[in-house]
Amino acid sequence: MQISKSFKRLIFLELAIPLALLTLGIYHGLLQVIYRAGVLQQPAFGKLEYYQGLTLHGVINAIVLTTFFAVAFGHVTMAFYFKKEPNRKASWISFIFMLTGTVMAAWAMLSGNSSVLYTFYPPLKGHPLFYIGTALLIVGSWFPLFTWARMYVKWKKENKHTKTPLAVIGTLVNFIIWFVCTLAVAYEVLVLLVPWAMGWTETVNVTLARTLFWFFGHALVYFWLLPAYIMFYTILPKVAGGKLYSDLAGRIAFFGFLILSIPIGVHHQYSDPSITQGVKFFQGMLTFGVVIPSFITAFTIAATLEYAARKRGGKGWFGWMGKLPYFDSKNFLFSYFICGLILFIFGGLTGVVNASYQLNTVIHNTSWLPGHFHMTVAGPVFLAIIGMSVYLYSTMSGKKIFMPKVNVIIPYLWMIGVLIFSTGLMWGGLIGEPRRTNLGMTYLNSASEHFRPDWVPTTLLALCGGIIMFIAGMLFLVVFFGTMFRRKSTEAVLELPVSEAYHDEKRIPLFDRFKPWLVVMGVVLALAYIPAFLNVEKNTGPGAPAFTPSNPVPIENVKK
């Protein structure tokens, strides 16, 4: 498909700006493992303090990169399937909002005024520009939903009895989830955090802020995941050389996420006071429910891969696995996808451990948690984002991939790094290693009375994995920016691989409409969250004063 210069420029900027920032994000990832292994035994390195680096790492990698990419990939998907570019003005306004917000938040973090981590964590207090910046980034990412919804409604009017393309369903579901869940964090930022950061209010209601954040926070992880799932359902079967085992399974999975992604945030608050056991239990059960769309995906994609491998001559119960195009540099998307899927088997299973109310008490706030989420967000999500970014850039610019043989190896290197890194973290977590802690200052410093020799092997393992991940990440940036600096050598087009479905499944209206699912979504959300907010209202104590991460004493007392 031919596209306009303006659209091309917009997509390139939305891909390249966060990837350029990723250099900082990856650098701080490396520093994390170095601090934690006790190689650095100081509060700061290169004028950037530990928690400042951790905030930059989380915000750039988990909020900025993922949001820009989801918007860019959504634009591309809608344009490709509807053969029409989204509204130009709205798309550029959205980009300007997101960019301005990112610059503001980046300044606030780099100046050392906002070491509050990507979860905002009041009573840690950030600079007002950090909160306003992140709010602008979020508001900017709302615009596309409205333009895409208009495109969809128009298309549907003209194609009443045609199945809506699965990728379009996935994109709209994802941004509806995003719009609803970000309303809570927008309220948290604008009503609680900005007035507090400006000095208009003296204290902050921590329980309410945390509950609003986690209303958003777990749905956020599915906002990261769904673009990858769209690729697994609609692109992977084609690049694997086969067909999608069931298109209907994909629809069921996406609508399942629509209902269950948000009303489960309290599973991040199992250890919080104020919320009663009944609410925690109910949301814990819903969390087990949200695992189902992923299990559906696991079996559908496994069957899809088996079909593709058998078509390529694969035989036997497991022997077929050897026939997939693992190292085909011309078809490199496969390598990015398969490595992400393999990581997600472990990322998903550890998620189920977290979801259990009882087991959660063992792993909560330990390094098990970053072990879990690096096999999810730094697994299928990150690999799908970077693989698709270089694919889109190359095809839409007409420039060949720089170092194609290295490009196809990167995901394997990354996967090995993550597996080693996460093993170190999870093993450490099970023997009590805390997360978000500069271990080099105390527990991993043999001169400290708190020294824990049993955490030496676990943190060293995480260090080895982290170094491998750093190398893979840097190689990717060389491939991406190397491709940017090449000359155009083929026609520049917008082209996505499109998978056919294996079965000729009839159109089922229920799985081709949003209204019934939106109603169910509203009901489940109300059942899960009205009691939670009533609990918060009833059980909240006095407001908290401001803290910094480096001192357990409130800022105002330190000043005195």
Query: Minimum CB separation from ligand HAS for residue 215, in Å?
Result: 14
- Site for ligand HAS (CB under 6 A): which residue of 193, 194, 305, 388? 305
Q: Are 148 and 169 in contact (CB under 8 A)?
A: no
* Alpha-carbon Rg for the chain in angstroms: 23
Nearer to ligand HAS, 302 or 526 (CB): 302
Helix, strand, coil fractions of the chain, as percent rounded to 5: 70, 0, 25
Which H or E element spans position 238?
helix 236-240
- Structure-block tokens of residue 56: 């930059």
- Structure-block tokens of residue 300: 């559908």
- Of 28, 75, 210, 218, which one is the catalytic site residue? 218
- Site for ligand HAS (CB under 6 A): which residue of 354, 438, 445, 483? 354
DSSP 460-475: HHHHHHHHHHHHHHHH
- Of 35, 245, 346, 373, which one is the catalytic site residue? 373
Say which DSSP state 440 is in: G
Which 3 state secondary structure label does DSSP give 110?
Answer: helix
- Of 80, 372, 443, 452, which one is the catalytic site residue? 372
Q: Taking CB under 6 A as the rule, does residue 268 contact ligand HAS?
A: yes
- Site for ligand HAS (CB under 6 A): which residue of 114, 246, 274, 294? 294
- Is there a catalytic annotation at residue 218? yes
Query: Minimum CB separation from ligand HAS for residue 489, in Å?
Result: 33
Question: Binding segment for ligand HAS among 161-169, 291-299, 407-415, 461-469 (CB under 6 A)?
Answer: 291-299
- Structure-block tokens of residue 207: 């329980």
Query: Minimum CB separation from ligand HAS for residue 28, in Å?
Result: 15
Q: Taking CB under 6 A as the rule, does residue 536 contact ligand HAS?
A: no
Place of tokens 């992923």: 294
- Site for ligand HAS (CB under 6 A): which residue of 298, 416, 464, 525? 298
Query: Minimum CB separation from ligand HAS for residue 506, in Å?
Result: 26
- Of 436, 451, 481, 502, which one is the catalytic site residue? 436
Q: Mind spelling out the 3-state secondary structure of 445-456?
A: CCCCCCCCHHHH
Q: Taking CB under 6 A as the rule, does residue 377 contact ligand HAS?
A: yes
Q: Taking CB under 6 A as the rule, does residue 528 contact ligand HAS?
A: no
Q: Around Cβ 93, how many Cβ atoms within 10 Å? A: 13
- Site for ligand HAS (CB under 6 A): which residue of 295, 359, 454, 519? 295
Paired residues of 434 in beta bridges: 366
Query: Minimum CB separation from ligand HAS for residue 558, in Å?
Result: 26
Nearer to ligand HAS, 98 or 305 (CB): 305
- Listed in sequence order, the residues at least 6 apart from 203 whose beta carbon sits closer than 8 Å to its beta carbon are 196, 542, 543, 544, 545
Backbone phi and psi for residue 204, each to the nearest 5 degrees, phi listed first: -130, 145
Binding residues with ligand HAS: total (CB under 6 A): 34
- Structure-block tokens of residue 518: 């939106």
- Please report, as a single letter, which amino acid is at residue 160: K
Nearer to ligand HAS, 165 or 250 (CB): 250
- Is there a catalytic annotation at residue 450? no
Gap between the Cα atoms of 150 and 170, Å rounded: 16
- Is there a catalytic annotation at residue 28? no
Peptide bond preceding 123: is omega within 30 degrees of 0, i.e. cis?
yes
Nearer to ligand HAS, 174 or 394 (CB): 174
- Of 255, 435, 443, 547, which one is the catalytic site residue? 435
Which 3 state secondary structure label does DSSP give 204?
Answer: strand
- Is there a catalytic annotation at residue 267? no
- Site for ligand HAS (CB under 6 A): which residue of 94, 246, 287, 499? 287
Site residues for ligand HAS, window 318-347 (CB under 6 A)? 321, 341-342, 344-345
Query: Minimum CB separation from ligand HAS for residue 158, in Å?
Result: 34
Query: Minimum CB separation from ligand HAS for residue 361, in Å?
Result: 9
Q: What does each C-alpha distance from 235 to 72, 267, 308, 322 come to in angstroms?
A: 17, 33, 13, 20
Query: Minimum CB separation from ligand HAS for residue 414, in Å?
Result: 15
- Please report, as a single letter, which amino acid is at residue 521: M
Nearer to ligand HAS, 137 or 369 (CB): 369
Nearer to ligand HAS, 55 or 354 (CB): 354
Query: Minimum CB separation from ligand HAS for residue 13, in Å?
Result: 24
Q: Taking CB under 6 A as the rule, does residue 290 contact ligand HAS?
A: yes
- Structure-block tokens of residue 76: 């591309």
Gap between the Cα atoms of 129 and 124, Å rounded: 15
Question: Binding segment for ligand HAS among 123-131, 184-192, 284-292, 444-452 (CB under 6 A)?
Answer: 284-292
Q: Taking CB under 6 A as the rule, does residue 291 contact ligand HAS?
A: yes
Which 3 state secondary structure label does DSSP give 84?
Answer: coil
Paired residues of 49 in beta bridges: 44
Residues in contact with ligand HAS, shown as a per-residue x/- string from 357 to 376 under the rule CB under 6 A: ---x---x----x--xx--x
Q: Mind spelling out the 3-state secondary structure of 111-130?
A: CCCCCCCCCCCCCECCCHHH
Q: Are 160 and 90 in contact (CB under 8 A)?
A: no
Gap between the Cα atoms of 219 and 283, Å rounded: 13
Which residue's C-beta sits nearest to ligand HAS?
A: 348
- Is there a catalytic annotation at residue 57? no
Residues labelled as active-site residues? 218, 222, 372-374, 435-436
Summarize as ranges the residues that interact with ligand HAS (CB under 6 A). 119, 221, 224-225, 267-268, 287, 290-291, 294-295, 297-298, 301-302, 305, 321, 341-342, 344-345, 348, 351-352, 354-355, 360, 364, 369, 372-373, 376-377, 381
